[in-house]
Amino acid sequence: MARSNFSVLTILSVILLLPVFSLSFSPDSPSDRRLLVLFDYLSLKSSHSIFFNSLKSRGFDLDFKLADDPKLALQRYGQYLYDGLILFSPSIERFGGALDLAAVLDFVDSGHDLIIAADSSASDLIKSVATECGVDFDEDPSALVIDHRSYAVVGTEGDHTLIAADDFIESDVLLGENKIEAPVLFKGIAHSLNAANNLVLKVLSASPAAYSANPSSKLSSPPSLTGSSISLVSVVQARNNARIMITGSLDLFSNRFFRSSVQKAGSPKKYDKSGNEQFVAELSKWVFHERGHLKAVNLRHNKAGETNEPAMYRIKDDLDFSVEIYEWSGKSWEPYVANDVQVQFYMMSPYVLKTLSNDKKGLYHTSFKVPDVYGVFQFKVEYNRLGYTSLLLSKQIPVRPFKHNEYERFITAAFPYYGASFTMMAGFFIFSFVYLYHK
Amino acid sequence: MGRATSKDAQALIHSLRSAYAATPSSLKIIDLYVGFAVFSAIIQVVYMAIVGSFPFNSFLSGVLSCIGTAVLAVCLRIQVNKENKEFKDLPSEHAFADFVLCNLVLHLVIMNFLG
């Protein structure tokens, strides 16, 4: 008796507390919350502890697992358990548990974020995940990025595989407002962007003097990946706004690189701290949707002077259009301020294209005259800017021609015809008098 | 036969003029009326050619009133002409009454179509 009471109690409490358990990624709060971190070996947890602690202090729940853990699962009963995945397991040949290449790609296709770090021990599995995301790693397993001009000066003359890179992409939304002063230390393999892919961006590219080759053997043929086409860190923003960061150096995130000083070969300036920590922190803020995530709400249109939305417009009407755009700041929705948001009044081609003016509080508005063409139009707002989520809004509205009683009463161009008709009537009248009474 | 000279053309015109002068003055009044209506129609067509056909219904209405007036007047002239064997038994008052009624209908239609 007591046992059945107890089980009833537990069932009741679980049902009542279920809403509390579903506090996670939702459209109202788009930052990720739960991250799964996969390692090859557990010592990575301590050797990269500064990075993980900074993630925890920003409010993420990290779940550390070995990459071949047989209990790995990204989703259970159709629901995803995590909002983001960090793959720090370059040498894994096969994931454990329910995870494989298709599962990772489905995870990204459903709008979740991903960080992939490879290094010289990168397996085919990790390389194929990266290829599916639009980035091709060097196929030679023993090749590293070598740069004899931009290497980091260490005590002994090394083989110039430790690179000090400072060729960043120009974007405040990706890398934050503060400029990264010190170069970023990188040691790992090269990747290049797939030329057919227009969603992938090079965030940190190698200098024109870099190439990808085996450092311990002589070059027998010119290397296939050279110069600025080598990307050291790339990001992809997919069309469903999932964000992926791919890099060829796991050490980029390590405590050792975060803390070390850096001096680029050929320049006298020595920085006490490399730019790695700032670079990784800012870029991970972007990847996990703490920055650059836009939402547009309240697309409204009405005739000038009215407040309700009509179901149909007439040609040559004056109308007002407004939309509100907000940006997620990590904790709340802030108004998004820009002066290049445009609206199109579109039917097969844009008849009207206007730039929206904003009031600095997130409300964008404009007014224009409906064109002299009738049909079914759409209000279209298409906004794709580097680093921001894409906004694609459209609202259909029909436009009708004039009703027969909406024309001007007397058309000036037709006055001669009016005159002729009345003249004919008068002429008939006069003629009949003359005809009847002439002598 | 033979050569057509300017003297023949002149003789032709002269005979036409003298024959026309012999027509009754009532018929001449009708002819003047027809000429006025056709002239008015031509002016409207030239105007449309210059300015364009908007609004087309007004153009049609104006031209139709002129042409319709001309046609009805020609019908009146045919019925009233004494030399016309076909309408010998038709009293000219009857013809004139028909003319008036038809013109009323014509002008009613014109006013409606004028827009």
* Rounded mean pLDDT, B100-107: 95
Give the residue with greater pLDDT, B23 vs A356: A356
* Rounded mean pLDDT, A70-74: 88
pLDDT beyond 70 at A85:
yes
Tokens of A164: 């000090």
Q: Give residue A20's pLDDT band: very low, low, confident or very high (50, 70, 90).
A: very low
Q: What's residue A24's pLDDT?
A: 44
Q: What's residue A13's pLDDT?
A: 59
Q: Residue ranges of the alpha helices (H) in A288-331?
A: none
Give the residue with greater pLDDT, A376 vs A360: A376
Among chain A residues, the shortest Cα distance to B42 is held by A420
Asked if A427's CB is within 8 angstroms of B30's CB, the reply is no
Asked if A427's CB is within 8 angstroms of B26's CB, the reply is no
Q: Give residue A247's pLDDT band: very low, low, confident or very high (50, 70, 90).
A: very high
Q: Write the pLDDT tens digit of every residue in A194-210.
A: 888 888 999 999 989 89
Give counts: helices (H), strands (E), chain A. Answer: 9, 28
Cβ neighbours of A412 in B, within 8 Å = none
Q: Give residue A21's pLDDT band: very low, low, confident or very high (50, 70, 90).
A: very low
Q: What's residue A196's pLDDT?
A: 84
| Sign (positive or negative) of CA dihedral B48, B51, B56, B61 | negative
pLDDT cut 70: percent of chain A above it: 93
Q: Write the pLDDT tens digit of every residue in B27-63.
A: 889 999 999 999 999 999 999 999 988 888 899 999 9
> What's the CA gap between A241 and B97, in Å, rounded?
85
Cβ neighbours of A427 in B, within 8 Å = 33, 36-37, 69
> What's the CA gap between B65 and B68, in Å, rounded?
5
Q: Is the peptide bond before B55 cis (omega within 30 degrees of 0)?
A: yes
Q: Give residue A413's pLDDT band: very low, low, confident or very high (50, 70, 90).
A: confident
Which of B65, B110, B111, B112 best tests the A interface by mutation, with the highest count of A CBs <10 A?
Answer: B65
Q: What DSSP line would sit under A77-131, residue for residue?
A: TTEES-SEEEEE-TT-SS-STT--HHHHHHHHHTT-EEEEE--TT--HHHHHHHH
Place of tokens 């008796």: A1
* Rounded mean pLDDT, A381-406: 90
Q: In a 3-state reduction of DSSP, which class is residue A194? A: coil
